[in-house]
Amino acid sequence: MVSYLVNDSQKNEISRIDSIITFEKDETILKRKKQAFEIPIKRTKKKDTQPFKYSQVSKIMAIGDLHGEFDSFSNFLIKNKVINESYNWTFGKGHLVLAGDIFDRGPDVIKCFWLLYKLENEAVEHGGRVHFILGNHEIMQIRGDKRYLAKKHLNLFNSLGLDYTRFYKADTELGKWLRTKNTIIKLNDIIFVHGGISPELVDNKLKINLINSTVRNIINRKVPQAITPLEEFILSNIGPLWYRGYIKLSSSYYDETSLKYEITQEKVDKITRFYSAKAIVFANTHVKEISPMFNFKLFGIDIPFAELNIEFQGLYIEDGHFYKALSDGTKKIIYWKL
237 CB contacts (<8 Å, ≥6 apart)? 243, 244, 257, 259
Nearest to 131 by CA among 140, 123, 139: 123
Residue 3 within a domain: no
Residue 14 within a domain: no
Q: Are strands 59-63 and 313-318 parallel, antiparallel or unpaired?
A: antiparallel
Cα separation, 300 vs 304, whole angstroms: 12
What is the predicted pLDDT for the residue at 76? 97
Q: Are strands 292-293 and 279-286 parallel, antiparallel or unpaired?
A: unpaired
Contact 117, 30 (CB under 8 A): no
25: left (phi over 0), alpha (psi -120 to 50) or beta: left
The 3-state DSSP composition of the chain as helix, strand, coil percent (nearest 5) reads: 30, 25, 45
Residue 166 within a domain: yes
Q: Number of structural domains, the chain? A: 1
Q: Provide the residue range defining the domain that includes 231.
A: 45-335
Q: 309: pLDDT confidence band, cut at 50, 70 and 90?
A: confident
Report the CATH number at residue 153: 3.60.21.10
| Runs of H (alpha helix) within 95-206 | 109-125, 136-142, 151-159, 173-178, 199-203
Q: Are strands 292-293 and 298-302 parallel, antiparallel or unpaired?
A: antiparallel
Residue 75 has phi, psi (to 5 degrees) of -65, -40
Residue 228 within a domain: yes
Cα separation, 43 vs 177, whole angstroms: 9
How many angstroms separate the Cα of 142 from the Cα of each of 122, 145, 170, 270? 26, 8, 9, 33
Residue 1 within a domain: no
Cα separation, 251 vs 17, whole angstroms: 42
Q: 17: pLDDT confidence band, cut at 50, 70 and 90?
A: low
What is the predicted pLDDT for the residue at 15? 54
Q: Is 133 strand, coil or helix?
A: coil
Nearest to 203 by CA among 238, 245, 242: 238
User: Does the pLDDT value for residue 252 go beyond 50?
Assistant: yes
Residue 33 within a domain: no
Q: 265: pLDDT confidence band, cut at 50, 70 and 90?
A: very high
Q: Which residues of 75-87 are buried (b: 16+ CB within 10 A; e: fewer)?
A: bbbbbbebbeeeb
If 0-12 CB within 10 Å is exposed, 13-18 middle and 19+ buried, where does residue 110 land?
middle
What is the predicted pLDDT for the residue at 325? 97
- What value does the CA radius of gyration of the chain take, rounded to a whole number of Å? 19
Query: Within its chain, how far is the Cα of 166 from the centroid?
Result: 20
What is the predicted pLDDT for the residue at 35? 60
Contact 244, 261 (CB under 8 A): yes
Q: 53: pLDDT confidence band, cut at 50, 70 and 90?
A: very high
pLDDT digits (tens, 9 = 90+) for 205-219: 999 999 999 999 999
Give the dihedral of Cα atoms 67, 62, 114, 31; nearest 10 deg: 90
Q: 262: pLDDT confidence band, cut at 50, 70 and 90?
A: confident
**Average pLDDT rounded to a whole number, residues 218-236:** 91
90 CB contacts (<8 Å, ≥6 apart)? 81, 82, 83, 84
pLDDT digits (tens, 9 = 90+) for 95-145: 999 998 888 777 788 899 999 999 999 999 999 999 999 999 999 988 888
pLDDT digits (tens, 9 = 90+) for 169-204: 888 999 999 999 999 999 999 999 999 999 999 999
Residue 111 within a domain: yes
What is the predicted pLDDT for the residue at 114? 93
Residue 125 within a domain: yes
